[in-house]
Amino acid sequence: MRSRLIEIYHRLYAAYGPQHWWPGETPFEVIIGAILTQQVSWTSVERAITALKQERLMSPDAIARAPQEHIAAFIRPTIYYNEKAKKLKAVVEFLQTRYGGDLTALFALPTARLRAELLAVHGIGEETADSIVLYAAGKPSFVVDAYTRRILTRLELITGNEPYRRIQKLFMDNLPPDVELYNEYHALLVRHGKERCLKRTPRCDACPLHGLCPFPRQYRR
C-alpha cells in the first residue's frame, strides 16, 4: 500500500505540478474558507471572502460583533449562507471563549487534541477540522474529501463505503507525518478529481494513473 500511495503521488505531481493550496492570506482566513467551502465550489468561496474583506469582516472580533444576518448577506454565493454564517459565529465564539481569540494558543495544542476541540464546534465536521489542522495550523492530519474517496475507489484501494477515519488512516499509516506531503497530496487529488477523474465520465485516456487504475478496463465492459 505504501509504495502504491507514493507512486500515485509522484505521478500526480509529475502531471500537475505544485498546487500551492490552501489560498488563504492568514490562518484565520483559511478557517473561514474551510467552513465556507462546504458543499460549494471554491470560486463561490473566493467571492464571499472578497466581500467579507471589503466589509472588514475578516477577523474574529469583526465576526463576533456583526449580526449573523449581516454576515450571511456577504456570503450568499456559498449557498446555505444562513447556516454558514451561524457556523462562522460559532467558531469565533469558541476561539474567543476558550482561547481568548488567540489562534496561536489554539494551534499549540497537540494535533489529536486540536482536532477533537474543532470537532466539538458547531458546523465543523471531519473534513473541515482536518483542513484547519493541516492548512491553518500546519499540523499533519490528512484531509479526505469526495475526490479522495472517488479516486481511491476507482483505483480499488477502498470499496468507497469506508468511514472517513479509515480512509484517512490508510494515508497516515503509510505515509510519513509530513505536512508538506499531506498538503500537496490532497491538493493533487482535488485537481485530478476536477480535471480528469470526473464523477460521471472520467477522462481515462492519457490519465497519469494509467496502468495503476483498473477502472478503464471495467468501464469498457
Give the residues lining the site for ligand SF4 (CB under 6 A).
Answer: 151, 154, 196-197, 202-204, 207, 209-210, 213, 215-216
What is the DSSP annotation of 113-136?
HHHHHHHTSTT--HHHHHHIIIII
Nearer to ligand SF4, 85 or 204 (CB): 204
CA distance 54 to 125: 28
**Distance between the two ends of the chain, CA-based, in angstroms?**
27
For the packed helices 146-154 and 179-195, what is the interaxial angle rounded to 10 degrees?
80
- Yes or no: say if 86 and 122 are a contact pair by the CB < 8 Å rule: yes
Least separation in angstroms between CB 37 and ligand SF4: 22
Least separation in angstroms between CB 157 and ligand SF4: 11
CA distance 10 to 185: 9
Nearer to ligand SF4, 91 or 207 (CB): 207
Least separation in angstroms between CB 187 and ligand SF4: 16
Nearer to ligand SF4, 149 or 154 (CB): 154
Nearer to ligand SF4, 123 or 216 (CB): 216
Least separation in angstroms between CB 117 and ligand SF4: 35
